[in-house]
Structure 1
Amino acid sequence: MTPTIPGFDYQRVTVADRVALNVAVGGSGSPVVLLHGFPQTHLMWRHVAADLATDHTVICPDLRGYGDSDKPADTDGTTYAKRTMAADIVALARELGHERFALAGHDRGVLVGFRAALDHPAAVTHLALLDTLPTLDTWDVLHGRSAAVAFHLYLMAQPPGLPEQLIGAAPDAFFGHFLDVWSVGAIPADVRAAYLKASREAVPSIVADIRASAGIDIEHDQADRDAGSQLRMPVTVIQQDWGAALGFDAPALWRAWATNLRYLTTTSGHFMAEETPAEISKALRDLIH
């Protein structure tokens, strides 16, 4: 049986073009939307969501293409554009009765949240971004041997066919690699199994999501950079100090996008919402309140 967030209600909400998202909702109060990363599902937020639900309405969807949400075929390169996925989240919140909400994203959820805040600034009141850079900056800082840490991005950026075939031949080995090397043991066996099952059933859509970040997402980011677009709401970024490790100034990259920025580093691993949930809950509460 797939694990769930205790005390949360589950439903499927249709957001656009007959795409339905699986979403867990719990608590009451001002709304907070939590977006998961790769190769996870909404379950990565289980500890933080339960804590925030004591005084917030907490909304935890599976992104399109992930978990139990729909996985439409990518027919034109825009199906998994972060602009499309961000519109899903705004529509989801609206369907649940919330025109405005705080938003936190981890990993791939950072990219969706970033785009939602740029495209729908009236909807996003506060923004928290965990352990990823905007797409344009990610590709800019990866170079030389340091780019090996992101080999999966380069693999999945290739044209349709080969990446899906290679990953589909050994999905548990591929996705399990990241769950193991990015974790410090905070993912219990049943949750790890749920992540692997969800990922092996979503190889084409996960590849399409990351492929979009080497194409249409760059175009959208570059257009916003050229236009001087910025995040106007309060923004908290929480990252490992991998900017220093890879030789770039991560706070400076974020300040170019965010005028009202609080930048924090953590000693946790990449899966910080699972490894140090109290730290993440406190940072989100500090941002929202």
Structure 2
Amino acid sequence: MTSALTAFRQEHIATNGIRLSVHRAGSGAPLILLHGYPQNHMCWLNVAPAFAEHFHVIVPDLRGYGESDAPPDDVAHTVYSKREMAHDIVGLMDTLGLQRAHILGHDRGARVAYRFALDHPGRLARLGIVEIVPTGDFWASWQADLALRAYHWTFLAQPSPLPERLIGADPVGYIEHTLASWTRAKSLETFPPAALDAYRRQAADPARIAAMCADYRAGATTDRQLDDDDRAAGRRIAAPLMFLWAETGFPAQTGQPAALWRAWVDDVRDAACASGHFPMEENPQAVLDAFLPFFLASDGPAG
């Protein structure tokens, strides 16, 4: 079927025991775009066509989101760990015959992207990160103001089924509040109507709400432990990193967001933009200005 992403084609690809819904367009070096919470592939609506003028652009829905499979969580919260989601992307690349790719991730997708960089360095050409700092570092940065703004990190991570039941009382209202409150303008007008409709449909599915909660339970447990283990072992990200952060987003509240990435990566470039937490929709030109030159300047071929 044809997506609301102009000229992108949708397919379902089996990988790592699940099926991912994937949209693709363009030709050239592969560029994988990974969305965040509480969104899906539609968050790239304003920028993916421009990327597809230069790259083979691959836009999956992460497991649990959009039209991808939403398997049940496990007791140890590994099913929605970023390590498991990165395995999904490795399997996707294998199916498409891709040895290496650029990856650009926002929010939860950015956490999958940097876990991919740590676990599968030979499969990554260049890494783009939008609006996050590493999971362990973000937890360590909490103080009262940040805790109030990022309350969803603890709320969604509460044991099942508490957050699912509370969100289930008005799931679309909850997601609309979340989206609007994280924008610079505090408004849903930021989001293209087709994207907003996709986010609302997703919120109305109890399986997707359960998956989102599982995603954050993994962030509070498995993902944090993986970061701590890698830091203790001195593991670092080998790929060059471009980091875009919003002037009124979450990383800005940590004080020195780029410095947190330099503790993990030798080659870090960063830029700030006028936006809330959703630059692809609030300031798409800033996203293109940051990442098109970065990925086009790759020293070696991807694919």
Q: Does the Cα contact within 8 Å between 2:274 and 2:283 map onto a contact in 1? A: no
Letter in 2 for 1:158: Q
- Cα deviation, residue 179, structure 1: 1.4
SS in 1 for 2:33: strand
- Cα deviation, residue 247, structure 1: 5.2
Letter in 2 for 1:269: G
Which of the residues 224, 239, 243 maps onto 2:245? 239
Which of the residues 175, 197, 210 maps onto 2:201? 197
Q: Does the Cα contact within 8 Å between 2:35 and 2:41 map onto a contact in 1? A: yes
Taking the aligned partners of 2:252 and 2:63, their CA distance within structure 1 comes to 32
Letter in 2 for 1:214: A
- Cα deviation, residue 286, structure 1: 1.6
Q: Does the Cα contact within 8 Å between 1:3 and 1:194 map onto a contact in 2? A: no
- Cα deviation, residue 145, structure 1: 3.5
TM-score by length of 1: 0.95
SS in 2 for 1:237: strand
Which of the residues 227, 230, 236 maps onto 1:230? 236
Please list, as runs of the form range in 1=range in 2, the aligned pairs for 1:99-114 lying within 5 A after superposition: 99-114=99-114
Deviations 1:116-145 (A, max 9, x none): 010000001100000011110111111223
1:66 — aligned with what? 65
Q: Does the Cα contact within 8 Å between 2:13 and 2:21 map onto a contact in 1? A: yes
Identity %: 39
Letter in 1 for 2:64: G
Please list, as runs of the form range in 1=range in 2, the aligned pairs for 1:1-289 lying within 5 A after superposition: 4-17=4-17, 19-76=18-75, 77-183=77-183, 184=185, 185-201=189-205, 202-241=208-247, 242=249, 246=253, 248-288=255-295, 289=297
Taking the aligned partners of 1:203 and 1:194, their CA distance within structure 2 comes to 14
Q: Does the Cα contact within 8 Å between 1:110 and 1:134 map onto a contact in 2? A: no
Relative distance call for 1:83 and 1:268 in structure 2 (3 A) is same
Taking the aligned partners of 1:69 and 1:164, their CA distance within structure 2 comes to 19
SS in 2 for 1:213: helix
- Cα deviation, residue 37, structure 1: 0.9
- Cα deviation, residue 2, structure 1: 10
Letter in 2 for 1:189: P
Residue range with higher mean Cα deviation, 31-40 or 241-250: 241-250
Taking the aligned partners of 1:126 and 1:285, their CA distance within structure 2 comes to 12
Residue ranges of structure 2 left out of the alignment (5+ in a row): 298-303
Taking the aligned partners of 2:273 and 2:92, their CA distance within structure 1 comes to 31
- Cα deviation, residue 274, structure 1: 1.6
Relative distance call for 1:244 and 1:81 in structure 2 (3 A) is closer
Residue range with higher mean Cα deviation, 110-119 or 157-166: 157-166
Residue range with higher mean Cα deviation, 172-181 or 1-10: 1-10
Q: Does the Cα contact within 8 Å between 1:117 and 1:231 map onto a contact in 2? A: yes
SS in 1 for 2:45: helix
Residue ranges of structure 1 left out of the alignment (5+ in a row): none
Letter in 2 for 1:145: D
Deviations 1:197-244 (A, max 9, x none): 113311100100011000001110000000111111110000023578
Give me the CA root mean square deviation: 1.7
Letter in 2 for 1:33: I
TM-score by length of 2: 0.91
Relative distance call for 1:197 and 1:219 in structure 2 (3 A) is same
Relative distance call for 1:82 and 1:269 in structure 2 (3 A) is same
- Cα deviation, residue 156, structure 1: 1.0
Taking the aligned partners of 1:254 and 1:20, their CA distance within structure 2 comes to 32
